[in-house]
Amino acid sequence: MPRPNPQNLSRPARETRPLIPVEQKNKVRNVMDRIPAKVIDAFEGNPGLKPCCKNVRDHDIELFKTHEELVTPNMAIITCSCGRKHYRAAAGGVKVSN
């Protein structure tokens, strides 16, 4: 067990940035042709999700950028009908095209 150490007890707060909305909230079923199949498969095949969360076509999706200078959105928030939010982040941008 590590000994108590002032460096381990105090850590700086993580920088938080407000998300910049890119597109209005939309139903996933309305933009299915723009979402990669692997995103849908990840929801449907995840044994840890509740049954309502697995039916991703009924969810709402919102696209965001974390920095103003980004060209494409790099964050998607998918909200289930039960209210649970699922976050999808991509280093090169979320692959949901216009």
Series of mean pLDDT values for 10-residue runs along the chain (98 residues): 60 75 90 82 90 90 88 88 88 52
| Phi-psi group of 94: left, alpha or beta (phi > 0 → left; psi -120 to 50 → alpha; rest → beta) | beta
pLDDT of residue 70: 85
For residue 93, count other CB atoms closer than 10 A to its CB.
16
Residue 98 belongs to some domain of the structure? no
Is the pTM value of this prediction over 0.75?
A: no
Residue 33 belongs to some domain of the structure? yes
Q: How many domains is the chain built from? A: 1
Residue 9 belongs to some domain of the structure? no
pLDDT of residue 7: 58
Q: Which of 82, 62, 58 is nearest to 73 (CA)?
A: 62
Instruction: Identify the domain containing residue 66 by its residue range.
Output: 18-89
Amino acid symbol at 47: P
Residue 53 belongs to some domain of the structure? yes
Residue 7 belongs to some domain of the structure? no
pLDDT of residue 10: 64
